[in-house]
Amino acid sequence: MGTVNNNSTNTNRKKFLDTKTMIMCSLFTALVAIGAFIRIPLPVTVFTMQFIFVLLSGLLLGSKRGALSCLLYVVIGLIGFPVFSEGGGLGYILKPTFGYLFAFIITSYVVGFLREKVGTESVLKLFFIALLGMIITYAIGTVYTYIILKYVVGNPIPYHACLISLFPFAFAKDIFSCLISAIATTKLANHIKFD
């Protein structure tokens, strides 16, 4: 009985780590990295494509593959490759914005998991899933920022200041990113399917 279970586990692992999965995960790892450097200047802020690619990694690849793509991105950056907006290396963990990068992994998993439940036909459902991903990213990112500023940098600002800093410009950009991701998913999902 144990042999049957082990064979089944090995088969599932091989099926998950097939060639298509490795290619698509690598592609989205690269897109998330590149997305941080695709910058569209706006009057008060800068719009980047990174959050769109984080959402799409989960919405198109599913929970595990999407999270793996974002995990690889974070690991590559922590190893020292300059894929983060301000470089890379282990020291990045102590930057206030690292919480958002860590949140990308969880966000991708959650939006992928929910997309697996509701499908890819409804732009509205996908938009609300993406909004939930945005809330998760904000929650983890702002808490991490608060902790680093208070206990590492020695700048004890109140938590609500970290949250308010996202409004209105980052919030508006990310709402737009959620909408673009939802629409793109309905157009691309049929072309990216896994057995």
pLDDT recorded at residue 66: 98
**CB distance 55 to 46 below 8 Å:** no
Closest CA to 133 of 179, 192, 195, 76: 179
pLDDT recorded at residue 114: 98
What's the rounded Cα separation, in Å, for the pair 33 and 31? 5
Handedness of CA 129, 135, 139, 142 (dihedral sign): positive
pLDDT recorded at residue 12: 60
Q: Is residue 43 classed as helix, strand or coil in its secondary structure?
A: coil
Residues 6+ apart with CB under 8 A from 58: 66, 67, 107, 108, 109, 110, 111, 112, 113, 115, 133
pLDDT recorded at residue 123: 97
pLDDT recorded at residue 43: 65
Q: Is residue 39 classed as helix, strand or coil in its secondary structure?
A: strand
- 154 token code pair: 């020695």
**CB distance 182 to 126 below 8 Å:** yes
DSSP 87: B
* Environment class of 169 (CB within 10 Å of its CB; exposed 0-12, middle 13-18, buried 19+): middle
Q: Which domains does the chain have, with CATH numbers?
A: 2-191 (1.10.1760.20)
What's the rounded Cα separation, in Å, for the pair 34 and 44? 22
Closest CA to 177 of 32, 62, 78, 79: 32
Give the residues across from 84 on adjacent strands: 87
Provide block-wise average pLDDT over 10 residues at a time, the chain (195 residues): 54 72 96 93 79 98 97 97 93 95 98 96 97 98 96 91 90 96 96 81
pLDDT recorded at residue 193: 83
